[in-house]
């Protein structure tokens, strides 16, 4: 299992690819992209927590999948992998072992927010 305090959560190649999409016509692309990405996550984290509270495995899988997809598109590999495990638990109908992974992705999310805020494009 990877350390929660790894140097960078965002894959450097994905980040560079996003930077290459920035143009004179859209100089704020990276900022808009990561703002939309981060703004979309809290509702899914709330959905995951609610699914755990109500033992709703299907809903757990749905929200974990949404977070996983967003993270995969953004190059956030550690969160993608953990969300994949949570999603699989939901599809298996078992929410009993998901809480530790949910707590890990919540901690990674806080780390990710700080990392994104520190990107030069965000200023």
What's the pLDDT band for 115 if we cut at 50, 70, 90? Answer: very high
Conformational region of residue 14, where left means phi above 0, alpha means psi within -120 to 50, and beta covers everything else: alpha
Q: What is the pLDDT of residue 119?
A: 94
pLDDT band at residue 62 using 50, 70 and 90 as cut-offs:
very high
Give yes or no for residue 88 having a pLDDT over 60.
Answer: yes
CATH architecture classification, 28-118: Up-down Bundle (1.20)
Q: What is the model's pLDDT at position 2?
A: 44
Of residues 24 and 7, more confidently modeled: 24
Q: Where are the domains of the chain?
A: 28-118
| Residue 37 DSSP SS3 | helix
């Amino acid at each position: 299992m990877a350390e929660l305090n790894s140097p960078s959560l965002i894959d450097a190649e994905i980040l560079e690819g996003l930077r290459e999409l920035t143009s004179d016509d859209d100089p704020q692309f990276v900022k808009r992209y990561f703002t939309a990405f981060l703004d979309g996550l809290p509702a899914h984290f709330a959905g995951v927590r609610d699914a755990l509270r109500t033992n709703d495995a299907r809903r757990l899988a749905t929200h974990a999948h949404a977070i996983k997809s967003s993270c995969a598109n953004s190059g956030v590999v550690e969160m993608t992998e953990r969300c994949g495990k949570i999603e699989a638990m939901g599809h298996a109908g078992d929410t009993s072992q998901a809480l530790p992974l949910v707590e890990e992705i919540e901690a990674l999310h806080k780390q990710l927010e700080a990392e994104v805020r520190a990107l030069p494009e965000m200023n």
